[in-house]
Amino acid sequence: MGNLKYAVHAYAWTASWSNKTLDLIDRAKGLKFDVIEIPLMEIELVDPKKIKERLEQVGIGVCTSTVCSEAYDITSDDEAAVKGGLGYLKSCVRATAEMGATCFTGVTYSAIGRRIDSMPDERYWGRAAEALKQVAKLAADLGVTVGIEPVNRYETFLVNTCDQALKLREMIDEPNIGIHLDAYHMNIEENDFYEPTRKAAAFLCHYHLSESHRGTPGTGTVNWDDIFRALGEAKYSGLVGLESFSEVSDAMRAATCIWRQLAPSSDVLLTEGLKYLTALEKKYYE
């Protein structure tokens, strides 16, 4: 398309990835996306070999992401959860490499939705950094970048802002740790969109271009001009993605908190959103 590589999250269409959903690779290509983002939450259902075969047949790229569960929480007081989380994240890295992807990201640093009773102290930061350093070393051997995605206060107690993601990255101190911003979460947690994007630009591995209500980009309150101005100034040429939800199944509704119809269909949302975003890219990358 241009300087940016546009990804679409498979959650636009399905709540669960398996070999039964391989046709979504074709669907993403048909909507003119460069990359499909495959969720690894149910890693036991993910077949990297089959995915790679289908990707090569269709001619589209791939990246992966996850959110860690309580059983895989590397910041936990429970040693079994820390050990489980480390093993799980390493499995995700291996699956990512096996399907031919070079970017694995998401809420890699703690359990999604976990609440604690006080401000997070250095114990939590230290546990996350120690585990992710081990994950990053394995990932480096396999040619994979591991991303840190700040998400809003209702979904994590640890990394809500770009500055916090940069802090954790510095603590991990491995060159293949990247930052993954998401405009939906930034709309809640950041003071603006330009400064966090500018700060993260040198370390960006992915950017979810999600609207403030997770509907079609351009129809909410996200300041898209500020985001693209910062990306253009930095000459960022990596992954950006649409993580939007329209056809939400009952299995996903509680997780996504989508209680109303945000677009006529996922395909309409994605098509209109991609058109809007590529026009902004053209404006700020000329």
Instruction: Please identify every residue annotated as catalytic.
Output: 149, 243
| β-sheet bridge partners, residue 61 | 35
Q: Which residues of 90-111 are buried (b: 16+ CB within 10 A; e: fewer)?
A: bebbbbbbebebbbbbbbbbbb
38: CB partners within 8 A, 6+ apart: 10, 17, 46, 51, 62, 63, 64, 65, 99, 101
SS3 269: helix
SS3 53: helix
The tokens of 97 are what? 């490499």
Number of H helices, E strands in the chain: 10, 8
Size of the chain in residues: 286
SS3 14: coil
Of 238, 230, 153, 157, nearest to 187 by C-alpha is 153
The tokens of 21 are what? 């959903």
Of 219, 239, 154, nearest to 189 by C-alpha is 154
Of 208, 273, 203, 194, nearest to 240 by C-alpha is 208
Q: What type of residue sits at position 79? A: E
Rounded distance, CA 183 to CA 109, Å? 19
